[in-house]
């Protein structure tokens, strides 16, 4: 990990009409690090992602890329810097095969004609380098499992050689085994030296792959934890905003009976 | 299940042709049906396999096939254009009156027809793409609007005495080269171009992406609106050419020209294996579908069967085509 974060946001504020969606938020991502962005519904996670992706630019605040200040006003700005975003559920065309999906919108061509051979080779190489197992890159993605589809969506984001990848709920609709596939893939992104921003509701996933957790609550920073130093309770408390809340009361109620099972929760 | 199937034996030895959509199963099946039908008809009747009958089929089918080429692109993007019959009427009446009253030459007539078609197609395309209104609503509206415009130009009278300026596109002897109707040569030339475009050009691939998932395509950088405007405009251009074919050797242009044409065109496209929900289909299939429709119509006439049987057979073909498509789609989902 270098001293300068690849991406550093500070004092980010965003307002939609009467709603103050983000207030003075900061976030740093280093190379080779998975940062989980946690928070309850409406905490501002998606808004922050959209600020970084250039979909909804920030009203105020500073964004630094590798130490120098930059402005991200449209999606192209983010892509040009090297920020890739994998949106939830919205990323693949079911009717196209794996190769066509990987290269959609950035097709390789020769003399204005699709270069299918080159695309297929690069697709196979890319998927192999990420250890993504696809039986045949020429099948429509509709016939693939949810985990494979998510893996393809993530692999596609890497074609532009980004330095930061943002994943929006990548495991939301997946079963246990498929979630494990995607978590493996996220670790491989980290091993490649990418900075990964992971939005997830699933604290188990977060604890499994993230190095740090940044918690947002009501549009403000509500805590930042190194994953190996924080307990589940710390994170939940930050997300809900207090130690006295429905989640911790319920825990306290059941703690007496199930004190031993608490440890692996 | 995925991980066990990744042996190189499976993905390597049986490498499919690199290009995904070569000639599809449905096209082969259609070609087979056509071949069998032609064989049977030439054995059963002594009039089917004659030059004049084949010329007649090709000429009759040409406008349907020509518009079908554009309609294929439209339906692949998960759209539809039901206004083509009315657009054809507008283009035909304008061109017919220009030919008769202004005595324009053939290139001017073609240019005007294509221009009128393009403008009408552009209107459809812009409203569908930027208005984000479903294509069937938009084009159902313009179907009526364009019909109104054409009737206004007709001014309550059919156009009679149209000169034979465009006879090289007509059904007569002057409209044939090497025995094949020029209209059909046009269909094959345009069909080949659009087929190549949809298969090999990046923006052609984008049409399939839009039909598969327009939101995903947009996020991936596909210029969805531009592509949509392009396919509807293309359809309009082809409608203009089809109008010239239907004027052909001149004579009479009636007010009801083009009525119901959209359904024949859509039938050819659907029978040709294009999925009505978008994302899949080829121009080659559409041409075969149009030929099948033409063959059935001709067969019913030659066999002196009641003509309503044509509708029955075409209906059955549509149901089979849609059924095959649905079964394929469900099998794919359930995997």
Q: Chain-centre distance of CA B83, in angstroms?
A: 13
pLDDT, one tens digit per residue, over B186-225 is 999 999 999 999 999 999 999 999 999 998 898 888 999 9
A118 by DSSP, 3-state: which? helix
The pLDDT of residue B79 is above 80: yes
Which residue in chain B is spatially nearest to A136 when comparing CA positions?
B11
CATH entry, A7-94+161-230, from 3.40.50.300, 3.40.1160.10, 1.10.490.10, 3.40.50.740: 3.40.50.300
Residue numbers of the domain that contains B236: 58-258
The answer to whether residues B26 and B281 touch, using CB atoms and an 8 Å cutoff, is: no
Across chain A, mean pLDDT equals 85
Q: What is the pLDDT of residues B261-278, one digit of tens each?
A: 999 999 999 999 999 999
Instruction: Please name the residues between 16 and 35 in chain B that touch chain A, using a CB distance below 8 Å.
Output: 16, 18-20
Q: How many domains does chain B have?
A: 1
The pairing of beta strand A7-16 with beta strand A60-65: antiparallel
- The A residues from 87 to 116 touching B (CB cutoff 8 Å) are 87, 90-97, 99-100, 104-107, 109, 112-114, 116
Q: What is the average pLDDT across B42-57? A: 91
Least confident piece of the model among A176-185, A225-234, B246-255 = A225-234
Confidence of residue A258 (pLDDT cuts 50, 70, 90): low
Q: What is the mean pLDDT of residues B21-38?
A: 82
Band the pLDDT of B330: cuts 50, 70, 90: confident
What letter would DSSP give residue A66?
Answer: T
**Distance, in angstroms, between B67 CA and closest chain A CA?**
25
Do B2 and A148 lie within an 8 Å CB cutoff? yes
Please indicate if any CB of chain B lies within 8 Å of the CB of A143: yes
Phi, psi of B134 (to 5 degrees): -65, 140
Q: Is residue B16 one of the residues assigned to a domain?
A: no
Q: Number of CB pairs < 8 Å for A and B?
A: 96
Residue with token string 């190769």: A99
Residue B36 lies in a domain: no
ipTM for the whole predicted complex goes beyond 0.85: no
Q: What is the mean predicted confidence (pLDDT) over B157-178? A: 91
CA A79 vs CA A27, A44, A48, A49, A102: distances in Å: 19, 22, 16, 13, 16
Q: Is residue B45 part of a domain?
A: no
| Both tokens assigned to B267 | 């039938």
Of A44 and B196, more confident: B196
Tell me: pLDDT of A90 over 90.
no
Higher pLDDT: B291 or A20? It is B291
Check pLDDT > 60 for residue A199: yes
B205 inside domain: yes
- B332 in any annotated domain: no
Please answer yes or no on whether A104 and B11 come within 8 Å at the CB atom.
no
Chain B residues lying within 8 Å of A112, measured CB to CB: 201-202
- pTM reported for the whole predicted model: 0.84
Given a cut of 90, whether residue B11 has pLDDT beyond it is no
Contacts of B5 in chain A (CB under 8 A): 135
For A75, which residue in chain B has the nearest alpha carbon? B219
Tell me which residue has tokens 């080269």.
B177
Distance CA B81, CA B75 (A): 8
Contacts of B209 in chain A (CB under 8 A): 93, 96, 100, 104
**Is residue B180 in some structural domain?**
yes
Q: Which residue has the tokens 């204005």?
A: A112
Angle between helix axes B283-302 and B308-334 (nearest 10 degrees) is 150
Task: Indicate the range of A200-209, B89-98, B283-292 predicted with least confidence.
Answer: A200-209
- The interaxial angle of helices B202-212 and B51-76, nearest 10 deg, is 70
More confident residue, B4 or A86: A86
Residue that is written with structure tokens 């946001």 in the block: A9
Q: CA angle, corner B319, sides to B313 and B322, nearest 5?
A: 140
Distance, in Å, from the CA atom of A248 to the CA atom of B86, rounded to the nearest integer, reads 68
Residue A244 — left, alpha, or beta (φ > 0 → left; ψ -120 to 50 → alpha)?
beta
């Amino acid at each position: 990990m270098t001293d300068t974060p690849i991406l550093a946001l500070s004092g980010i504020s965003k307002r939609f009409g009467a709603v103050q969606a983000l207030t003075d938020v900061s976030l740093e991502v280093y190379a080779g690090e998975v940062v989980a962005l946690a928070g309850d519904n409406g905490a501002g996670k998606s808004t922050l992602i959209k600020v970084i992706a250039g979909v909804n630019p920030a009203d105020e605040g500073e964004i630094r890329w590798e130490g120098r200040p930059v402005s991200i006003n449209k999606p192209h700005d983010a892509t040009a810097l090297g920020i890739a975003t994998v949106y939830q559920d919205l990323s693949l065309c079911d009717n196209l095969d794996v190769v066509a999906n990987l290269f959609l919108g950035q097709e390789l061509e020769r003399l204005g004609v699709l270069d299918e051979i080159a695309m297929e080779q690069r697709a196979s190489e890319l998927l192999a380098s990420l250890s993504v197992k696809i039986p045949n890159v020429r099948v429509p993605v509709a016939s693939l499992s949810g985990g494979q589809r998510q893996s393809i969506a993530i692999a596609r984001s890497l074609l532009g050689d980004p330095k930061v990848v943002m994943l929006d709920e990548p495991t939301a609709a997946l079963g246990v085994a498929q979630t494990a596939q995607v978590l493996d893939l996220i670790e491989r992104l980290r091993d490649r030296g990418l900075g990964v921003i992971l939005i997830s509701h699933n604290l188990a996933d977060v604890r499994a792959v993230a190095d740090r957790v940044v918690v947002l609550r009501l549009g403000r920073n509500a805590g930042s934890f190194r994953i190996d130093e924080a307990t589940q309770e710390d994170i939940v408390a930050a997300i809900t905003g207090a130690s006295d809340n429905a989640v911790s009361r319920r825990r306290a109620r059941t703690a007496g009976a199930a004190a031993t099972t608490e440890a692996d929760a | 299940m995925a991980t066990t199937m990744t042996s190189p034996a499976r993905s390597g030895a049986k490498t499919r042709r690199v290009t995904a959509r070569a000639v599809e199963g449905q096209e082969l099946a259609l070609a087979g049906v056509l071949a069998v039908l032609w064989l049977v008809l030439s054995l059963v009747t002594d009039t089917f396999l004659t030059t004049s009958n084949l010329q007649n089929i090709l000429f009759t089918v040409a406008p349907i096939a020509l518009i079908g080429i554009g309609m294929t692109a439209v339906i692949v993007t998960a759209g539809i254009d039901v206004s083509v019959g009315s657009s054809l009427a507008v283009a035909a009446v304008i061109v017919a009156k220009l030919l008769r009253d202004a005595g324009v030459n053939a290139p001017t007539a073609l240019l005007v027809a294509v221009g009128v078609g393009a403008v009408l197609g552009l209107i459809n395309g812009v409203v569908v793409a930027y208005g984000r209104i479903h294509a069937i609503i938009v084009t159902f509206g313009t179907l009526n609007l364009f019909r109104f415009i054409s009737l206004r130009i007709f001014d309550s009278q059919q156009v009679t005495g149209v000169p034979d300026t465009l006879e090289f596109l007509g059904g007569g002897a002057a409209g044939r080269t090497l025995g094949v109707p020029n209209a059909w040569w046009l269909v094959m030339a345009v069909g080949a171009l659009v087929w190549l475009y949809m298969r090999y050009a990046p923006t052609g691939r984008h049409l399939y992406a839009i039909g598969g998932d327009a939101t995903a395509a947009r996020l991936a950088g596909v210029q969805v609106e531009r592509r949509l405007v392009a396919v509807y405009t293309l359809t309009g251009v082809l409608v203009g050419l089809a109008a010239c074919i239907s004027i052909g050797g001149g004579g009479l242009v009636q007010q009801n020209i083009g009525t119901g044409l959209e359904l024949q065109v859509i039938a050819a496209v659907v029978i040709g294996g294009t999925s009505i929900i978008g994302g899949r289909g080829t121009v080659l299939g559409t041409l075969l579908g149009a030929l099948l429709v033409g063959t059935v119509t001709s067969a019913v006439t030659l066999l002196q069967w009641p003509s309503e049987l044509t509708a029955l057979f075409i209906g059955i073909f549509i149901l089979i085509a849609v059924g095959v498509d649905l079964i394929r789609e469900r099998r794919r989902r359930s995997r």
